[in-house]
Structure 1
């Protein structure tokens, strides 16, 4: 089942979110040189072949309607990835995933991108039944707790380990029509 064809870009308080392009491969390889990013992601991107594979997976997910991945740009620089993982098209729940390139951390990139993706997801999929978006992360990733909180995703529950992740996890959720708490300034 294919999903909506997303070709337009989204904006998020100074950031541009757009579908990934083949030209993003060098920036992906550079971002994945960071050990922290690699620790919390599943698909390696260490060379041009792996970058092409990663980009192909994003396009296949978009075409199938199961994953809407956006390059997050600050000017012309790729600073993050944010994705709506929608494993059951037409289902009530989806998951948001993201990573932030090391040089962009601490600048509020991830919360802004997650907020923009969340607004887009509910505007696009609520009529088809989407009611909740989850943000999941391992307990050893406190930065993701802060991103979730800033993006209006309150903590819901502690989850047991689930392969490929060996530690307990946190589930944060936003529900359709929930208004996020005002973002705290840093």
Structure 2
């Protein structure tokens, strides 16, 4: 069973490279800060109100990774030079990316992600999504993982753009299911590359 992986996403002309690694207890403070953003709280449905909540969330990530049902990655932006020849800055938490396998070993998985408010607009979500998608298909398919699904609420236009950019084709509308899913959703799908199905990204 795969329980650990560190992934990378290249820098762009306007943004540093990304490192994706399993969450750890040392991320509690940064996680709590990210969850101060109402947008993340609304889209994830989780309440991380204090350090205790953050540690509980992180322990859950560890348990789920060990059982193979959920592989969560802290998305870090590589630190730059501090200036004046000083040491490089520490990597900064800029997001979360996750692969969820409701049935370990089954043919379908789901991806999810969020970007910390200060890091939006730098391509974090799309680069992290590409890294996790490539890793998942290499680690679990072919012959195992056949397709990855991506779901978002209909009012989340940013996630829709990210999905299409990364080759997740729109497949259909999912009806709302309050209270957890108060709005209808979009279902996007990306098949394993060996299927031969088109996954041409949209601009």
TM-score range, shorter chain: over 0.9
Number of the residue aligned with 1:132: 147
Between Structure 1 and Structure 2, how many residues are aligned? 181
Equivalences for residues 29-40 of structure 1 within 5 A: 29-40=32-43
State the TM-score, normalizing by the size of structure 1: 0.93
Number of the residue aligned with 1:62: 65
Number of the residue aligned with 1:176: 192
Give distance in 2, aligned partners of 1:179 and 1:112: 20
Q: Pick from 142, 159, 165: which aligns with 1:150? A: 165
Shift of 1:152: 1.2
Give distance in 2, aligned partners of 1:179 and 1:10: 25
Give distance in 1, aligned partners of 2:20 and 2:173: 30
Give distance in 2, aligned partners of 1:157 and 1:173: 10
Q: Which has the larger radius of gyration?
A: 2
Specify every segment of 5 or more residues in structure 1 that has no aligned partner in the other structure, as ranges. Answer: none
Give distance in 2, aligned partners of 1:101 and 1:27: 10
Q: Deviations over 1:60-116 (max 9, x none)?
A: 110110000000000110000000001101101000011110011111100100000
Root-mean-square deviation (CA, aligned residues, Å) is 1.3
State the TM-score, normalizing by the size of structure 2: 0.85
Give distance in 1, aligned partners of 2:44 and 2:8: 25
Does residue 1:79 correspond to 2:101, yes or no? no
8 Å CA contact 2:142, 2:192 repeated in 1: no
Shift of 1:46: 1.6
Secondary structure, aligned partner of 1:118: helix
